[in-house]
Amino acid sequence: MIVAALAFYLFAGVTVGSAVMVIAARNPVHSVLFLILAFINSAGLFVLLGAEFLAMILVVVYVGAVAVLFLFVVMMLDINITALREGFLQYLPTGGMIGLVLFVELVLVVGGWSLEPELAAPKATPTPALTELSNTEALGGVIYTDYVYLFQGAGLVLLVAMIGVIVLTLRVRVGVRKQRIGRQVARRREDAVELKKVASGDGA
């Protein structure tokens, strides 16, 4: 039990710490790296809760795709970080006030929170207990059988998204030098390099 508690405090502490660093770091690339750290530690928290599928998805989707995309954007955009920070003190009072109000509201909500008894037992379809079936197994059991229609439909939605991106952005430009891998590979030394004997003194 003590190990689980220690693990929880480790993951939670690192998550909160790196979340603070996301907004505090001076270099935006460091911010994104801290964001990735925060995601991975939240995944650890999910594992502690027994939601191992959610943990994997968090790592695969958020770390693998979203954060890397952020990293690309941050690296490609020329963001002037000092200009962004200029108004910091000026906005601090208003921002702080809003933050305080949100915090108080959250405390009130969490303080008065209780689950309605009718919610505890969903009415129509009960879910199996975690001890019988792990999340991944439970999902895997239905996604390609009962819900294959939705799975294929989602696939079509992604296909349309891909077509859409290509339709809206791909432009055929003329006069662009493109890499032709076949020609690169087929190139031999004799075609590319020509050795000329130059008599000394003729170089001019």
Ramachandran assignment for 175, one of left (phi > 0), alpha (psi -120 to 50 degrees), beta (any other): left
Q: Is 139 one of the binding residues for other proteins (CB under 8 A)? A: no
Q: How far apart, in whole angstroms, are the C-alpha atoms of residue 74 and residue 68?
A: 10
Q: How far apart, in whole angstroms, are the C-alpha atoms of residue 80 and residue 68?
A: 21
Q: Give the number of residues in contact with other proteins, rule: CB under 8 A.
A: 27
Of 4, 119, 195, 199, which one interacts with other proteins (CB under 8 A)? 119
Q: Which is nearer to other proteins, 72 or 147 (CB)?
A: 147
Of 90, 94, 131, 145, which one interacts with other proteins (CB under 8 A)? 145
Q: How far apart, in whole angstroms, are the C-alpha atoms of residue 48 and residue 55?
A: 10
Q: Which is nearer to other proteins, 3 or 121 (CB)?
A: 121
Binding segment (CB under 8 A) for other proteins, from list 47-55, 66-74, 150-158, 178-186: 150-158
Q: Is 166 one of the binding residues for other proteins (CB under 8 A)? A: yes
Contact 42, 69 (CB under 8 A): no
Of 80, 114, 125, 131, which one interacts with other proteins (CB under 8 A)? 125
Q: Residue type at 83?
A: A
Q: Is 159 one of the binding residues for other proteins (CB under 8 A)? A: yes
Q: In angstroms, give the least distance from the CB of 45 to other proteins.
A: 22
* Cα distances (Å, whole numbers) of residue 142 to 42, 53, 76, 146: 27, 14, 42, 5
Q: Which is nearer to other proteins, 137 or 146 (CB)?
A: 146
Q: How far apart, in whole angstroms, are the C-alpha atoms of residue 135 and residue 49?
A: 12
Contact 146, 62 (CB under 8 A): no
Residues that bind other proteins (CB under 8 A): 116, 118-119, 122-126, 145-150, 152-154, 156-157, 159-161, 163-164, 166-168
